[in-house]
Structure 1
Amino acid sequence: MMKRFYSSIGQGVEALHRRLAVGEVGFMSAAFVQQAAALVRSVHAQLLEVVGRLHLPAGERWLDEYMDETSRLWDACLLVRAGASALHAYSSAAAHAIHHLYDHDDDYIHAARAINAPRRHAAGLLQDNRALLHDNIHDPASLLLLDHRSPRDLNLNAFNGFRALLYALRNATSFLLAILLSATVSSCLPDHLISTCTPLPLPTAPGYASSMARLRHRVAQEMRALAAPAADGILMYEFRQARAAIDSLKADLDRVVATGTGYAHREDMAERAHLVKGCLAMLSSGAEAVIAELDDLFDDIVEGRKMLSDLCSHR
């Protein structure tokens, strides 16, 4: 039963690593981030499935420990959701600003001014996220559920092995939360993504530990491959692509205004604007998908707390 739980964690982590390794999803793409969020939800859901078979006693500390773990998980995911919501708002506002370029397809000065709006929005978003992190992350290790103690110090057999399940939940989700925060809020914890070290594995969970080690190694490689500016700030690929496309269009418009030459064809600027809107649409749908996964996780935690409270009171 518990081995199956550890094995399922390993399978989920391995699937995420495999999709990244073969190029099925891009590093920090919305699809990759959504799958990471889905894996966090899956690990929690599978823990709840096992709990009912452990014959846990009523009125003991096991329920308090579950509440503590899910409270930290909830707080971290709230930050991720806030970041994803801000990205969705940015994509909508930027798409609205880009739409005005079609109204000024031969007035390049007004077009250059119009495209400044999403650039200012992006800069403000980065500042807001830094403030958000400063206000909420006083202890990154606590927020990310990191536990550097040896399993030998934790009495993992407590509560018929329930504490071991919580330990696995914590260590499986800590790295995933670092990915989610870096993708949607800020790469504030690069050491957690670049480091390839892993927590000491559970003796009964070799597959889970080895799968996590492979994912960590792959993510560390991808992080080192990012150029310095790209590795700082919000890492979601679609956001970086949208910003780059907007900056490129702004530079092009500035050149046109400075030289007074205009575009060779009136349709050229509209085509460039259309490409930018495509990037923003992908960012919007990606942010929505991450938000949906997290909302489902919040519902699962609420239901899980009620289920375990009822279980505890009826033992």
Structure 2
Amino acid sequence: MNHYSTDSVNGFYNFLTRGLDDLDRSSSDSFMSIHFLQCVLSSLRSFHLQLTVLVQRLHLPVGEKWLDEYMDESSRLWEACQVLKTGVSSLENFFMSGVNLSSSLNDNTVASPVFFRQIIRLINASQREVSGREDENRNLMETRIQPLSLRFDDNISMGSKFNAFNGFRGVLYAMRNVSSLLLMILFNGLVYFSPQTTFFSNCNEDRDQVVFGSSGFMVSATRLHRKVVAEMEKNGVDQTTGMILCEFKRAREAMGEMREGIERMMEYGMEIDELDEKIEKMKCCFGLLKCGVENIVIQLDDFFDEIVDGRKKLLDICTNR
């Protein structure tokens, strides 16, 4: 994402608007893919970084409530990202089992029934573990995310009540609203999606007139919100539950096809060469999933460092004045 000037409150709002517009365009490439979700996380990090920069330039009074409000919001962001990392990391056993199975099938030179029965047992065990992980991730959403009240309000107008602290209160509210939208996209893509427990069913097409009379960033945020809703419906995701990450779904399907291929081969006496295409597909799918999840975790670890650094900078500013 390009870094636009955020020397002023209006500059920060323009920065949010451009960043959200970039996400809106990228969402069409591959919905709920690692690439799109990495863009969402990068945007969240970039917005947070520029918020910290703006606060330093507003010369806010020491000892006022603005610092407590900033600390509360950064703590909420920290907690949400901790849960996000826990949910994403739960995929590690799954993608490692897929990578190991692909290697075993590639390396095996003796196609014995004993070997293939062992592979089928391992695939079944992996699929059962995934179902258990999805239940754990659903519990994470219900017990640790819902209390954080990640709700996107598509009907706000930045009025006079947000002018406190040189406009910082409005900036912080905007950041909270936008970060809630981006975090819920990340949770629904990487951790667990359920139509009953997300904000995506709350999109109101009748609010155009109100919203479009509001701030530019809200127009962009609402457009992105509705784009995600539309993609959910287009892909039939709005009727499902569980992990909806594209690379995860493809890897799971490839593993299922591998099991079916082995079962048919054992039943009809086909040669192992006929499985080569399925083996290669599984290897590719799990390789992409592994690389993508590891990159997301690295991004989250970097974000934790940035949150800590931002809190320290603002505390130092207040202490040293």
Question: 2:155, 2:211 within 8 Å by CA — same for their partners in 1?
Answer: no
- CA distance in 2 between counterparts of 1:214 and 1:42 reads 20
Normalised to the residue count of structure 2, the TM-score between the two structures is 0.86
3-state SS in 2 of match to 1:113: helix
- Change in 2 beyond 3 A, CA 1:288/1:276: same
- Change in 2 beyond 3 A, CA 1:271/1:101: same
**CA displacement at 1:9 relative to structure 2:** 0.9
- CA distance in 1 between counterparts of 2:94 and 2:183 reads 22
Percent identical among aligned pairs is 34
Deviations 1:191-250 (A, max 9, x none): 4234434897697831x1221122112111111123359731111100011011111222
Greater relative contact order (Cα < 8 A, sep 6+): 1
- CA distance in 1 between counterparts of 2:165 and 2:261 reads 64
- Change in 2 beyond 3 A, CA 1:262/1:115: farther
Structure 2: which amino acid aligns with 1:171? N
**CA displacement at 1:127 relative to structure 2:** 2.0
**Counterpart in 2 of 1:42?**
46
- CA distance in 1 between counterparts of 2:120 and 2:307 reads 47
**CA displacement at 1:269 relative to structure 2:** 1.9
Of residues 93, 101, 123 in structure 1, which corresponds to 2:97?
Answer: 93
- CA distance in 2 between counterparts of 1:106 and 1:222 reads 45
- Change in 2 beyond 3 A, CA 1:161/1:204: farther
1:210 aligns with 2:214: no
Structure 2: which amino acid aligns with 1:78? Q
- Change in 2 beyond 3 A, CA 1:10/1:173: same
User: How many correspondences in the alignment?
Assistant: 306
3-state SS in 1 of match to 2:192: coil
Of residues 282, 286, 289 in structure 2, which corresponds to 1:280?
Answer: 286
Question: 1:126, 1:233 within 8 Å by CA — same for their partners in 2?
Answer: yes
**Counterpart in 1 of 2:130?**
122
Compute the RMSD of aligned alpha carbons: 2.6
Deviations 1:8-65 (A, max 9, x none): 11111111111223x2xx0000000111001110110111111112120011111110
3-state SS in 2 of match to 1:74: helix
**Counterpart in 1 of 2:203?**
196
**Counterpart in 1 of 2:235?**
226
**Counterpart in 2 of 1:168?**
174
- CA distance in 2 between counterparts of 1:235 and 1:279 reads 15
**Counterpart in 1 of 2:5?**
none
- CA distance in 1 between counterparts of 2:128 and 2:98 reads 10
- CA distance in 1 between counterparts of 2:268 and 2:188 reads 42
Normalised to the residue count of structure 1, the TM-score between the two structures is 0.88
- CA distance in 1 between counterparts of 2:157 and 2:231 reads 30
Of residues 262, 265, 273 in structure 1, which corresponds to 2:269?
Answer: 262
**CA displacement at 1:253 relative to structure 2:** 2.4
- CA distance in 2 between counterparts of 1:55 and 1:228 reads 46
Structure 2: which amino acid aligns with 1:132? L
In the alignment, structure 1 segments of 5+ residues that lack a partner are: none
- Change in 2 beyond 3 A, CA 1:216/1:133: closer
- Change in 2 beyond 3 A, CA 1:216/1:145: closer
What pairs with 1:49-198 in structure 2 (closer than 5 Å)?
49-102=53-106, 103=108, 105-107=111-113, 108-139=116-147, 142-144=148-150, 146=152, 155-188=161-194, 191-197=198-204
In the alignment, structure 2 segments of 5+ residues that lack a partner are: 1-7
Deviations 1:164-212 (A, max 9, x none): 1111111111111111001111014664234434897697831x12211
